């Protein structure tokens, strides 16, 4: 935890310099930036001119009351839906008009609010699926380049088992993913995201519906991977999780940005409290 607080101080400084000049601090250049995002569903404006920035190497939080548009924003960032206006930059390239699978190719992978696993595939197969650009994903290669495919499969299998081991699911590798508990599904989803070799992982409520012991395990995992260089953007309602993990927190309310700051700042921000608790 200690080193995490140290890094959050660094990001604190960074957060104040974002608008003028980013990329000078330890956490450095923004990996993901979104500006002026708008999404309307009929008459409802779900996301209204929202912005967000995720610096390289950070764990950035995204919070807000129910219906604030957090998940819609996530869907916009990962191109699952296209914005009516605004821009999303990933690694300095605009990505808002790319198909979702292309986003994953470029190194940004998301998880889902309700963990989605591929039930009738084994846990290991769930992991193996995540590898990008496999030779065996082209059907003619299956008949023509069997050796190459077998080699890749062996390598990926080792890597998958390593990750499964780190999330504590190695003993379940050959079970159907559909037989996992809710918390295990969350872990599998995170492991699967890591398996894609991403630069940025978007986690949608990693602690929702998970028991406290497993929450700790999930948080430990996120911190470890972060120390190894992975960047995270996390939606979460559990404030303990947000406070212990995040370098910086963005608050969304009614589709608009309400506040940005360190967890400590957000905790004491009267506007945020108002949005959550009402007047």
Partner 1 sequence: MANYLVSLIVVTAIYALFSLGLNLQWGFTGLINFGHVASMALGAYTTVLLSSEGIPLIVAVPLGAVLAALLGIVIGFFTLRLREDYLSIVTIGVSEVIRLIALNEEWLTKGAFGVQSFPLPLQNFRPTLLSRLFMIAILTAIAVWAYGKIFCWIRQRYQKLNGSVDLTLVLVGLFALGGVVLYWVAASALYNFSQNPARNGLMLISVIFVAIAFWMLERLADSPWGRVLKAIREDEEVAKALGKNVFWYKQQSLMLGSAIAAVAGSLIAWQLTSVYPSTFEPLTTFYAWIIVVLGGSGNNAGTILGAIILWAYFEATRFLPNLTQALHSVFSFIPPAIDPAREGAFRLMLIGLLLMILMMMRPQGILGKKEELTLGR
Query: Under the rule (CB under 8 A), what is the footprint of partner 1?
Result: 78, 80, 99-105, 109-112, 116-121, 125, 128-132, 134-139, 141-143, 146, 149, 152-153, 176, 178-179, 192, 196
Q: Which is nearer to partner 1, 129 or 223 (CB)?
A: 129
User: What's the closest the beta carbon of residue 126 comes to partner 1, in angstroms?
Assistant: 8
Q: Are strands 85-90 and 30-41 parallel, antiparallel or unpaired?
A: antiparallel
Please report the DSSP string for 91-114 in residue order.
TTEE-TTS-HHHHHHTTEEE--SS
Q: Which is nearer to partner 1, 25 or 39 (CB)?
A: 39
User: What's the closest the beta carbon of residue 119 comes to partner 1, in angstroms?
Assistant: 4
Q: Which is nearer to partner 1, 102 or 158 (CB)?
A: 102
Q: Which residue has the tokens 């790319």?
A: 98
Q: Which is nearer to partner 1, 112 or 276 (CB)?
A: 112
User: What's the closest the beta carbon of residue 242 comes to partner 1, in angstroms?
Assistant: 23
Task: Please tell me the distance from the alpha carbon of residue 65 to that of residue 60, in angstroms, as a whole number.
Answer: 17
DSSP state of 175: S
User: What's the closest the beta carbon of residue 138 comes to partner 1, in angstroms?
Assistant: 7
Q: Which is nearer to partner 1, 57 or 198 (CB)?
A: 198
User: What's the closest the beta carbon of residue 74 comes to partner 1, in angstroms?
Assistant: 11
With contact defined as beta carbons under 8 Å apart, do 251 and 260 qualify? Answer: yes
What separation in angstroms does the CA of 141 have from each of 68, 148, 150?
46, 9, 11
What angle in degrees, to the nearest 10, is found between the helix axes of 212-227 and 182-195? Answer: 10
């Amino acid at each position: 935890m200690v080193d995490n607080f140290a890094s959050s101080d660094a990001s604190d400084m960074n957060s104040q310099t974002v608008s003028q000049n980013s990329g000078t601090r330890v956490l450095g250049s923004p990996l993901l930036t979104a500006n002026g995002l708008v999404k309307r569903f009929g008459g409802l404006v779900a996301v209204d001119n929202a912005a967000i920035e995720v610096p390289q190497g950070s764990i950035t939080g995204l919070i807000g009351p129910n219906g604030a548009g957090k998940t819609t924003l996530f869907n916009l960032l990962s191109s699952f839906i296209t914005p009516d206006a605004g821009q999303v930059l990933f690694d300095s390239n605009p990505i808002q008009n790319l198909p979702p699978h292309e986003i994953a190719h470029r190194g940004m992978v998301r998880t889902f609010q309700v963990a989605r696993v591929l039930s009738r595939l084994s846990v290991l197969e769930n992991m193996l699926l995540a590898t990008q650009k496999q030779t065996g994903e082209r059907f003619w290669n299956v008949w023509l380049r069997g050796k190459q495919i077998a080699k890749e499969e062996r390598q990926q299998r080792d890597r998958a088992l390593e990750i499964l081991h780190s999330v504590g699911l190695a003993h379940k590798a050959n079970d159907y993913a559909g037989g996992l508990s809710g918390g295990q599904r969350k872990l599998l989803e995170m492991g699967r995201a890591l398996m894609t070799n991403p630069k940025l992982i978007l986690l949608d409520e990693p602690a929702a519906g998970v028991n406290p012991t497993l929450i700790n395990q999930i948080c430990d995992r996120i911190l470890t991977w972060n120390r190894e260089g992975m960047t995270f953007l996390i939606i979460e309602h559990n404030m303990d999780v947000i406070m212990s993990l995040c370098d910086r927190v963005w608050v969304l309310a009614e589709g608009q940005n309400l506040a940005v700051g360190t967890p400590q700042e957000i905790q004491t921000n009267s506007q945020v409290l108002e949005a959550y608790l009402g007047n």
